[in-house]
Amino acid sequence: MGKLAFMSESSVSKSVPERRKLSAGPLSTGDKWFFRTTSIAANFAFVLVAFILVFLFIQALPALTSQGLPFVYGTEWNNQKDPIVMQIGPMIWGSLLIGAIGVIFATPLAVSLAYLIVFMLPSRLAKVATTLVDLLAALPSVIIGLWGLFVFSPVAAEWATILNKYLGWIPIFQVKSADNGFGGSPFIAGWIVAIMIVPIITSITREVFSQLDRDLINGALALGGSKFSTFRRVIFPTSAGAVVGGILLGLGRALGETVAIYYVLQITFNINWAQILEPNGGAVASMILSKFGEATQDEVSGLIAAGLVLFILTLGINFIASIIVNRAQPWRKN
C-alpha cells in the first residue's frame, strides 16, 4: 500500500510539473536602452496620430454640429448665408473619382514598368530605370502641378476632345457642351494623379516580382508556357495581393494630393458623378487649399472638418487595403 501511495503521488506531481519562469526580455543594459528608445519612437508615432485626430475633431466640432450630416453629402458652400452653409459632398466624391481614374491609368503602366525592370532589362539598365522612376516620386507636387497646368493640360485636353468625339456615346465620355473646352476635368486631374502614384505602385510591384521564387517561373516555362502566359497565369496571380496593396497605397496618396490637383482641376460644388471630361470636379484637399486663405472663423472650422473627413477616408482605405492584401494570399499563411 505504501508503495502504491508513493507511486500515485509521484505520478501526480509528474503530470503537473512546476513551471519555471522564462524571460524573453532585454538581456543587458544595452538591450534595455535599445528597447526603451525603440518603444518611445514607436509610441511617439501612435501618440502623434492620436493628437492630430483629437485636434482635428475639436476644431471641426463647431462646423460639424452646426451643419449636421449634410456636411458630407450636401452640395452647397455659401459663406454669405446666415447661418453659413458648408457641405462637401462633391469634394468627397470628386476625390474618390479622381483617385479611381488615377489608379486605372497608373496600374497598367506601373505593372508593365515593373515587369520590364525585373524580367526584361539587363541589370545595368534596370538600375537606371528604377532610379528614374524613383526620381519621379521625389518631384515636388507643385512642380508637377505647374507642369500639369502649362504643358500637360493642353495636351490632355486634345486627348479628351478625341475621346469625346469617338467614344462620346459612352456616358462617362459625354459633356454638356463641347464649347466649354476640355480643360480642368477629372480626366486631366486623374492623369496628373496617375503620374504621381506610378512610382509607388511600380516600386512595390517591382519588389514583389523580384522576390518571386524563380523556380515557379522556370516551372511554368518548362511546362511550355510563353512569357505572356507565364505572366498571366503564374507571375501576376502570385503577386496580385501585394500589387493591390501597392495600388491602395497609391490611392491613399491620390486622395491626399493637394497642390497638383488644385492647379489643373476646375473645382465646383456641383457633384460630377462620372462625366470625367466635364470641366467640373472636386477634391477635398485642393478645396481646403483654395478656401483657406480667405476663410472666416466659421469656415476654418468647416475646412478642418473636411480635413477630418479626408483623414478618416484615407484611414479607411488603408484598413481595407490591409484586409485585401491578407485575403488575396491565403496560401501565404502556410
Partner 1 sequence: MNSLTKASTLSSENISVWFGQRQVLSDVNLVFPANKVTALIGPSGCGKSTFIRTLNRMHELIPGAGLAGSVFLDGEDIYGEDFDAVSVRIKIGMVFQKPNPFPTMTIRDNILSGLRLSGRKIENGDEVAETSLRRASIWNEVKDRLNDQAISLSGGQQQRLCIARSLAMNPQVLLMDEPCSALDPGSTRRIEETIKELSSSMTIVIVTHNMQQAQRVSDQTAFFLADDNTPGGVVEFGSTEQIFNGPIDQRTNDYVNGHFG
- Chain residues in the site for partner 1 (CB under 8 A): 122-123, 213, 215-216, 218-226, 229-230, 233-234, 237-238, 330-331, 334
Amino acid at residue number 280: N
Report the C-alpha gap between 108 and 84 in whole angstroms.
Answer: 44
229 vs 296, which CB is nearer to partner 1? 229
Report the C-alpha gap between 307 and 285 in whole angstroms.
Answer: 7
Smallest separation (angstroms) from partner 1 to the CB of 59: 47
- Contacts of 229 by beta carbon, 8 Å cutoff, 6+ apart: 220
Alpha helices in 68-86, H assignment, sequence order: 70-73
Smallest separation (angstroms) from partner 1 to the CB of 194: 28
Report the C-alpha gap between 63 and 79 in whole angstroms.
Answer: 12
111 vs 189, which CB is nearer to partner 1? 111
Measure Cα distances from 86 to 65, 77, 273 in Å: 11, 4, 20
Contact 59/304 with Cβ under 8 angstroms? yes
Residue 77's H or E segment, with its range, is: strand 77-78
43 vs 218, which CB is nearer to partner 1? 218
Smallest separation (angstroms) from partner 1 to the CB of 329: 8
112 vs 218, which CB is nearer to partner 1? 218
Assigned C-alpha cell, 34? 535599445
Phi-psi map region of 74: left, alpha, beta (phi>0 left; psi -120 to 50 alpha)? beta
Smallest separation (angstroms) from partner 1 to the CB of 243: 13
Smallest separation (angstroms) from partner 1 to the CB of 200: 24
- Phi and psi for 304 in degrees, rounded to 5? -65, -35
Smallest separation (angstroms) from partner 1 to the CB of 122: 7
164 vs 239, which CB is nearer to partner 1? 239
136 vs 221, which CB is nearer to partner 1? 221
